[in-house]
Amino acid sequence: MVFTVPVRKRVAGPASRRAVLGGLAGAAAAVALGGCWPARDKPAARATPHPLAPVVAGTLAMIDRYQATMTAYPDLSTRLAPLLADHRANLDALRRAMGTPSPSATASASASASVAPDPAGAVAALHAAEQAGQAGAAAACLAAVADYAPLLGSIAACRATHVEVLS
């Protein structure tokens, strides 16, 4: 038994290689122009400035204050050196959390850091600055995202101990 099927005449001939390649090129262009590339190729959006930037600025200001005070009154260096070392450690931890490298040279006292005319006044000024810094770090801790809250909390606690040492 033979089955027969009517033959229909094709309107268009078979697709040429040029037509197939042109269609593929058009599809690739549509994907490229449509922005459908993987997300890893797109640059990551980053908040500007970094949420830890104000704390870093405050820490740098405290380092400058301590260095200026120790330069003006070398006899206070024994008392103030451990507190300065704490601020430098805090600065390193903040920079690591931000993903920024630490500079190779240590920060030097800036001209903007003023020192009281007597040692007692200089210590009182450091005490007041530590109190303000502790309050700022505590507020930053409460407002921070969960990733930064432990670091900011430990900085606030460190500054609270400095307030007690300078009392």
Instruction: Examine the pLDDT at 136 and tell me if it is beyond 80.
Output: yes
pLDDT digit string (tens) for 40-54?
555 566 547 788 888
CA atoms within 13 A on the CB side of 145: 6
Alpha-carbon gap, residue 88 to 79, rounded angstroms: 16
Domains of the chain, residue spans: 53-100+107-166
Mean per-residue pLDDT, 95-99: 88
CB atoms within 10 A of CB 26: 10
Quote the pLDDT of residue 50: 81
Dihedral sign of CA atoms 133, 134, 140, 143 in order: negative
Mean pLDDT of the chain: 80
Two tokens, residue 86: 């704490």
Do 111 and 158 touch, CB atoms closer than 8 A?
Answer: no
Mean pLDDT over 127-155 rounds to 89
pLDDT (average), residues 70-80: 92
Q: Could you tell me if 87 and 66 are in contact, meaning their C-beta atoms sit under 8 angstroms apart?
A: yes
28 or 92, which is more confident? 92
Per CATH, which fold does 53-100+107-166 belong to?
Ferritin (1.20.1260)
Is 60 exceeded by the pLDDT of residue 108? no
Identity of the amino acid at 135: A
